[in-house]
A and B are shown apart, each in its own frame.
Chain A
Amino acid sequence: MKFHGSWRTLLGLAAMGILLLATTAWAADTIVLGTAMSQTGKYAREGKFYVDGYQITVDALNKAGGVKVGGKPYKLELKMYDDQSDPNLSVRLFTRLVTSDKVNFLLGPYSSGIVTPASSVSEKYEIPMVQGGGASGQIFSRGYKYIFGTLPKAEFYFLSAIAAAANLNPPIKTAALVYSNEAFDRSVADGSRQLLKDYKIEKVYDEEYQPATQDFTSILAVIKSKNPDMILLAGHTENSLNFIRQSQAQDVSPKMWVFTVGPPTADFRKVLGKAAEYAYGVTPWLADMDVGGEIFASAREFDKQFRERFGYEADYHVAAGAAAVLAFKFGIEKANSLDPKKVRDALAGLDVETLYGRVKFEATGQIAMGQVLIQIKEGKVVPVYAAGKFVNKAVYPMPKWSQRK
């Protein structure tokens, strides 16, 4: 027995030694970016955009020579777990990434509801996290130093939409505000309420719903009875989809409707087909925008490479994820160090042009960037209103369902 035991100890020690050697060898010239992304569960769809966005950017960076620190090139490596769309699991996984996997830096998860608790892990261990998945003001209002976000402020998501609505002919007079009771969508609603007031649009309906809602017929029945000029919906892709389909079946058609998530995504237009026509959406990024930088010379080039590799169009989720990886490259090179504190300071002062646009963080850690109002016309995403002016003519008012072919 004793012999047996000592053998085991010896074996264990040997294994540990090999592991230790392996980790030191591996740590010598790689920078590990750790993340937990939703690959299963309710955010599996959006999560995939980030998984692919992170991967293509890491590979492109490595192909272009990696990240240079002190003149020495480092390869980037992704260490990824699946948080199953569960905020509690996400916190455990990020804690594991920091404490036992000892990754260098953190890329964020998806959705404000998960980023908010996950960012507490990065703050506690003082490891910078750059994320492209959460835009709620909650994430950035806690005075945290180690969280950076590449999605624009949730409170201003509908700014371009509401500004455009007030300047259309005839102008929008009344609006219905529908939003899920998740952190992000609540922030959007809070911001929109103020914006509607500023632009003197009367709010005739203002209700929150559960994000898992499938059936919107009751909500639609009430909205229909109020007959608003415009409907603003803040929710997830599936909510927007159900809302539009059921509006058609219930014959609800306002002059204009705007969705936080959905219209810029190819999948959304494919599933809805013609019913998606004329819907407005907002996006910080479009593949045919005139932006570009190192690694990916232009948004178009990025989209092309992305489509070749993954077989679907890159949308703003993908680009925001790519921007998060690139922020680390520039941050680390600027800091010329792998020290988390130094990289954090470099990120805070970053100002670079990328495929995603200008990456420059505000003091809160959130990117200083606006949204473009887009509309779906003949299955294509057309920018309508950006930076305070119309860039293309909108189809307005939206034709009623009965008048559509």
Chain B
Amino acid sequence: MLTLQVLINGILLGGLYGIMAIGMSLIWGVMNIVNIAHGPLIMLGAYVTYWTFTLWGWDPFLSLPVTIVALFVYGYLLQRLILNLVVRAQLFLTLLLTFGIEVAMVNLARIFWSSDLRQVTPTYAAANFSVGGLTIPYVRLWVFVTTVVLSVVFLLIMERTRLGRAIRATAEELRAARLTGIPVGHIYAVTYGLGAALAGAAGAMWGMLFPVTPMMGGALTLKSFVVAVLGGLGTMMGAVVGGLILGLAESFSSTFIGPTYPNAISFGLLVLILIFRPTGVLGKGEGR
């Protein structure tokens, strides 16, 4: 029974990890930017949800579209006005720039909103139901369902629309994409915007489960990084699979090995994957 409960806990959390990492994987895959500011984007999404909930009483699930649009616009502008200046430059440069954005975002959040812990608490926050001795919290279940829906929508955008094709074309063959008239600067900005929007959605849901603070992002950047690499860079399904692997690894190691081990296990997994399958679980082709 315990094993089954742990399995469910792991899957429910893994879904959230998955959606956190899709944005990271996308931005990395298309522009070769390791987005250190990914965690702060999640933080920003959490705050948007927190404020719409606290000030206007908006339900955190219903305000999700608002959060997604807000973060998309923010991400778009960030890429268009700042990151496009160094995109396709050396990895180190973009790394440094996103690191700078991270520092700025965290500290601005601290100045504007203080470092108080905050929590999005709709009336159903702690509701749960039991099936055959298993306890399943509603919010976690809904969060999982929402992440699945969002991931599918996102995959459809990437696979089936002109925009998705343009993004993939830019990622695969920049010069050819330019020649066919794809506005690369705009596509880059849209890509970053989409990544930010997904991060924002993840943040909105993270804020329903865990406290929101300006500093929450750092650990989440790291988690997204691990998940993105585990699953395979640039493959969107990979991030989802990576998220589930991480969620399950954390929840099982914490239960059966000890609660101090989840990080050791996650990073251990990362090292193993990098050794034996450097392109990730779902990654295509050989590593560079």
Count chain B CB atoms within 10 A of each CB in A212, A217, A245 and give the residue with the most: A217
Question: Within 8 Å of chain A (Cβ to Cβ): is B121?
Answer: yes
Q: Assuming A215-B250, A249-B126, is B116 touching A222 (CB within 8 A)?
A: no
**Bound state CA distance, A245 and B119, in angstroms?**
10
Does any Cβ of B come within 8 Å of A221's Cβ?
yes
Interface residues of A in 184-209 (CB under 8 A from B): 207-209
B107 at the interface (CB under 8 A from A): yes
Chain B stretch 44-92: residues in CB contact (< 8 A) with chain A: none
Chain B 6-40 interface 0/1 with A at a Cβ cutoff of 8 Å (1 = within): 10011001000000000000000000000000000
A218, B115: Cβ atoms closer than 8 Å: no
Cβ-defined contact, B260 with A250, below 8 A: no
A250, B210: Cβ atoms closer than 8 Å: no
Given A241-B211, A242-B210, A271-B211: A219 in contact with B140 (beta carbons within 8 A):
no
Q: Mark A209-225, 1 if CB is under 8 A from B, else 0.
A: 11011110111011011
With A215-B13, A221-B5, A249-B140: A208-B260 Cβ-Cβ less than 8 Å: yes
Interface size on B, residues (CB 8 A): 40
A101 vs chain B, min Cβ distance (A)? 24
Whether a CB of chain B sits under 8 angstroms from the CB of A275 is: yes
B104-156 residues with Cβ-Cβ distance < 8 A to A are 107, 110, 115-119, 121, 125-128, 130, 135, 137, 139-140
Contact B126 A210 (CB under 8 A): no
Which residue of chain B has its CB nearest to the CB of A214? B210
Q: Mark B251-263, 1 if CB is under 8 A from A, else 0.
A: 1101100111011
B253 to chain A, nearest CB (A): 9
- Closest residue on chain A to residue B251 by CB atoms: A218
CB distance from B275 to the nearest CB of A (A): 25
Q: Does A337 lie at the interface of the complex (its beta carbon under 8 Å from any beta carbon of B)?
A: no
Pairwise interchain contact A221-B125, C-beta atoms closer than 8 A:
no
Q: Are B130 and A273 in contact (CB under 8 A)?
A: no
Contact (Cβ within 8 A) A237 B117: yes
Task: Determine, out of A36-44, A105-113, A168-176, the stretch whose residues face the partner at the interface.
Answer: A36-44
8 Å CB contact of B260 from A181, A215, A242? A181
Interface string of A269-300 (1 = CB under 8 A from B): 00111010000000000000000000000000
| A401 contacts across to B, CB distance below 8 A | 126
CB distance from B105 to the nearest CB of A (A): 13
Is A238 engaged at the interface, CB distance under 8 Å to the other chain? yes
Residues of the B chain whose Cβ atoms lie less than 8 Å from the Cβ of A275? 126
Query: What's the Cα separation between A267 and B211 when bound, in Å?
Result: 12
From B116, which residue of chain A is reached at the shortest CB distance? Answer: A267
Assess A249 versus B137: contact at CB under 8 Å? Given A209-B260, A241-B117: yes
Q: Does B163 belong to the interface (CB within 8 Å)? A: no
- What are 18 A-B residue pairs whose CB atoms fall within 8 Å in the complex? A41-B215, A45-B115, A208-B258, A214-B219, A215-B13, A215-B210, A217-B9, A218-B9, A218-B10, A218-B254, A218-B255, A222-B255, A245-B119, A248-B126, A249-B127, A250-B128, A251-B130, A401-B126
Which B residues fall within an 8 A CB radius of A? 1-2, 5-6, 9-10, 13, 107, 110, 115-119, 121, 125-128, 130, 135, 137, 139-140, 209-211, 213, 215, 219, 250-252, 254-255, 258-260, 262-263
A binding-site residues for B, Cβ under 8 Å: 40-42, 44-45, 48, 178, 181, 207-210, 212-215, 217-219, 221-222, 224-225, 237-238, 241-242, 245, 248-251, 267-268, 271-273, 275, 401
